[in-house]
Structure 1
Amino acid sequence: MSWDTELTAVTSRIADRLFKRPEPKATFGDLVRRLLADVPRKNSWQLADHVGHPTANPIEWLLARAKWDADALRDDVRAYVVEHLVSTDGVLIADDTQAIKKDDRSVGVARQYCGLTGQVENCQVMPMLTYASAVGHAFINRRLYLPENWADDEERRKVAGVPERVTFATKPQQVIDMLEEERRAGTPFRYLAADSGYGRDLGLRAYCHTHQIAYVMAVPVGLPLLDVRGSGERAGHVLDRLLAHADPGLWERRSCGEGSKGRRAYDWAAVAVALAGQVPSGGHAHTLLIGRSVSDSVDVEFFLSHALTGTPITELITVAGLRWKIEGNNETGKDLLGLTDYQVRKWDGWHRHVTTAMLALAFLAVSRADLGDQTTPEPVPPAADQGKDPRHRESLS
């Protein structure tokens, strides 16, 4: 089946479930197709011009005023991704991305930390959830973060169409909510992966412990731990002790996959740890993974894993590396598919545009998987101690 025929089949099947009338079905198909097209900036006017519409009214009406459920589309995107990309090694990856905006009238826009620039910007923050496996990776869920000054402002909420059920929630809480939706939907996954903004959150970790969800999440150097005497210490102290031993056998060189700057080769150490105030699920154990960059010894990352006792450390390192897949989704979504090129201001319009862009990304991921277009990893140069297993060399539990 050709690319064009498959895209028509996918969009038509979904549109038949979302809409009753032929006009929105046709506009929806046009929108997905044009998000995938070579259009410089994918706002309503440029997309309409590419379709050949005299105005942007059909697309703007679809996103802002038509009656349809963006969550139903999200469910279809999830089902499509799981159907084609599911694998026994499937991982859910949580991260947030940002859309820089000039005005403060669009829903959720406020001066807040922006990961794109590393400083405070006028922007929207979007926690996203990716499904990743050896077959491919794509977004399956999304949230729009509402800062407290938005969530508590009844007038702004009313103008932006924010539903009454929506209250202030931290970004980690929004990830918890998405995980609960994935559990209810039966999404098959083995691990949750995330960066330190989520790994440091007590509530998210507690949710995973309660529901026996395995995870590998980046954590800060100051993560509170317990030493062998039950006294408090930090993750950084574990690294200090490993370096003081000066034993190369404690480290193993491996790649954790592709990052934003290319192949990520690290020397890894793994230590069994106990968390202050948190215990793992039954049959699970906590392990602190420490990765030192081969090219820059100052570049050190800490990961906390919660996995079945006896899980190979190599498996945990692989999961840590998969965290970067969501960066690829963010970049592709923004650079190629107009993920943040929307001109909508209200709650419904935001969810409709972003979820439609998620469908476009899912279609690309599935098409690539069908073509067998998987990048072959470059070999990692061996370290002198390659092949040794440093697991549990030092027990803090």
Structure 2
Amino acid sequence: MTDVSALDDYCNELFASLGRSDQRRWGEVYLRGLLTVPGRKSIRRISELVVGRDADQSLQQFVNQSPWEWAPVRRGLAEQVGRVLRPRAWVVREVVFPKNGDSSVGVARQYAPTAGRMLNCQRAMGVFLAGEHASSAVNWRLVLPRAWDDADDLRAKTRVPEHERSKPAWQYVLDSFDEMIGDWGLRPAPVVVDASSDPGVFPLLSGLDERRLPYLAQVSPATPALPVNLVGDTRRPRTVGQLAAAAAQRGRTTLSWRDGRTGASVGSEFVVAAMPGQPVAGDVRHGHPHPRARHIVAEWPTGAARPRAVWLTNLGAAGLRETVGLLRARARVEVDVNRLTEEFGLRHFEGRSFQGWHHHATLASAAHGYRLLCEAGGEALAEERLRPHA
């Protein structure tokens, strides 16, 4: 990112798919606003502080009504940040958008796993490319509650496309991966996902296995280790938590690493257990090799009666070091989610239309991605470069 303006270069590549010059210009203006406007980054404040005149209507049109496609912009973002981040994981993260009213697209009173309670909110599933020191959200799915399938008035008011219907969260995740791999041509990385509150964890894992994607999925310790009708002996462990506890009695492995933020040495004990009923290596069924066997990995604090967290993985029993690396990538995403939602305005949008929500989520992600690229390159954002052109 050199020449006249780093942001100019970034936007020229990012918005290359936008067919009109005015769309590309307003895209850059909006991005500048998300990067520089302090506090709440509303369209009005961006108009006042970036453009310096009344441009509300033009910005509103660009974000909410203009028919530009967000998928090519997201692909461009993924390509730009991917070249620098060199992602070691694709981390799936739910992001919750609390709402006071019911006029925004996809709003309902619903359970939000990351909040751990019922909220009046929008829910979205984001996919983050996570590297050693940073992560960037590159793809989004807005989760439509089931009640919205038949809410014709709300769907019309918020311009929800006819084909958009409620799905399980895991299906939104798989759809995102299909787009990223099939349409965008990205090279996949191991998937890290928190499914500890999702009863649909096995359809998700089966979908990842079918796509030959390695994964580390946090699950509830109460997750069944086998279907009930296959557990003949009632004394046999029935849950992944019980299997992890049995394996812990046979010994644990201590691993240590450097905290990416503080530099301090941290460590924890881990347990690995095989899932019962796994296929024989190299087994072929219906003409296709069976996916790699799943294992249980549990992090077990010293002296604790229960594990801190339990995961299912197809990385293999010898992949503990890689597991720790993936957990560090997930921790990095938690930092960047906070930056994205507050510092770059992801939640500072009413999100009333389906198209507007996706446009804003894409642009907020692009603003965050630009800042990450500057930080990775050791560049400081020069204020004069962020001012709009005269």
Give TM-score, length-normalised by structure 2: 0.84
The verdict on how the C-alpha distance between 1:278 and 1:223 changes in structure 2, with shifts beyond 3 A counting, is farther
Contact 1:198 1:217 in 2 (8 A): no
User: Gaps (5+ residues) in structure 1?
Assistant: 374-397
Query: Residue 6 of structure 1: CA displacement?
Result: 1.1
Instruction: Show CA shifts across 1:190-235 (max 9, x none).
Output: 3110112459611111111112211111111112125998866111
- Mapping of 1:155-174 within 5 angstroms? 155-174=153-172
Where does residue 324 of structure 1 map in the other structure? 331
Where does residue 78 of structure 1 map in the other structure? 78
Query: Residue 256 of structure 1: CA displacement?
Result: 8.9
- Mapping of 1:1-397 within 5 angstroms? 5-20=5-20, 22-51=21-50, 52-86=52-86, 90-115=88-113, 117-134=115-132, 136-184=134-182, 185-195=184-194, 196-197=196-197, 201-226=201-226, 233-243=238-248, 245=249, 249-255=251-257, 265-274=267-276, 282=290, 284-293=292-301, 300-307=308-315, 309=316, 311-371=318-378
For structure 1, which segment, 226-235 or 341-350, has the greater mean C-alpha deviation from structure 2 after superposition? 226-235
Where does residue 389 of structure 1 map in the other structure? none
Partner-residue secondary structure (3-state), 1:233: coil
User: Gaps (5+ residues) in structure 2?
Assistant: 284-288, 381-390
Partner-residue secondary structure (3-state), 1:149: helix
Where does residue 394 of structure 1 map in the other structure? none
Instruction: Show CA shifts across 1:221-252 (max 9, x none).
Output: 11212599886611121233245x3x6x4332
Instruction: Show CA shifts across 1:356-381 (max 9, x none).
Output: 111111112222222299xxxxxxxx
Query: Residue 313 of structure 1: CA displacement?
Result: 1.9
Matched residue type, 2:156: K
Query: Residue 28 of structure 1: CA displacement?
Result: 1.2
CA distance in 2, matches of 1:278, 1:40: 57
Query: Residue 266 of structure 1: CA displacement?
Result: 2.1
CA distance in 1, matches of 2:3, 2:198: 38
The verdict on how the C-alpha distance between 1:274 and 1:264 changes in structure 2, with shifts beyond 3 A counting, is farther
Partner-residue secondary structure (3-state), 1:345: coil
CA distance in 2, matches of 1:283, 1:29: 45
Q: CA RMSD in A?
A: 3.2
Where does residue 384 of structure 1 map in the other structure? none
Query: Residue 140 of structure 1: CA displacement?
Result: 1.3
Contact 1:198 1:204 in 2 (8 A): no
Query: Residue 347 of structure 1: CA displacement?
Result: 0.7
The verdict on how the C-alpha distance between 1:191 and 1:303 changes in structure 2, with shifts beyond 3 A counting, is same
Contact 2:113 2:197 in 1 (8 A): no
Contact 1:337 1:361 in 2 (8 A): yes
Contact 2:256 2:265 in 1 (8 A): no
Partner-residue secondary structure (3-state), 1:144: strand
CA distance in 2, matches of 1:193, 1:332: 20
The verdict on how the C-alpha distance between 1:255 and 1:159 changes in structure 2, with shifts beyond 3 A counting, is same
Instruction: Show CA shifts across 1:18-68 (max 9, x none).
Output: 131x33322211110110114210111111121112252221111112231
Contact 1:255 1:266 in 2 (8 A): no
Contact 1:265 1:294 in 2 (8 A): no
Matched residue type, 1:49: E
Partner-residue secondary structure (3-state), 2:293: strand
Contact 1:130 1:139 in 2 (8 A): yes
Matched residue type, 1:291: E
The verdict on how the C-alpha distance between 1:273 and 1:299 changes in structure 2, with shifts beyond 3 A counting, is closer
Query: Residue 12 of structure 1: CA displacement?
Result: 2.7
Query: Residue 146 of structure 1: CA displacement?
Result: 0.4
Partner-residue secondary structure (3-state), 1:325: helix
For structure 1, which segment, 182-191 or 121-130, has the greater mean C-alpha deviation from structure 2 after superposition? 182-191
The verdict on how the C-alpha distance between 1:350 and 1:163 changes in structure 2, with shifts beyond 3 A counting, is same
The verdict on how the C-alpha distance between 1:235 and 1:115 changes in structure 2, with shifts beyond 3 A counting, is closer
Partner-residue secondary structure (3-state), 1:79: helix
Contact 2:134 2:332 in 1 (8 A): no
Where does residue 383 of structure 1 map in the other structure? none
The verdict on how the C-alpha distance between 1:335 and 1:296 changes in structure 2, with shifts beyond 3 A counting, is farther
Q: Would you say how many aligned residue pairs link Structure 1 and Structure 2?
A: 365
The verdict on how the C-alpha distance between 1:301 and 1:372 changes in structure 2, with shifts beyond 3 A counting, is farther
Contact 2:77 2:366 in 1 (8 A): yes
The verdict on how the C-alpha distance between 1:62 and 1:200 changes in structure 2, with shifts beyond 3 A counting, is same
Partner-residue secondary structure (3-state), 1:93: strand
The alignment-based identity, stated in percent, is 20
Query: Residue 155 of structure 1: CA displacement?
Result: 2.0
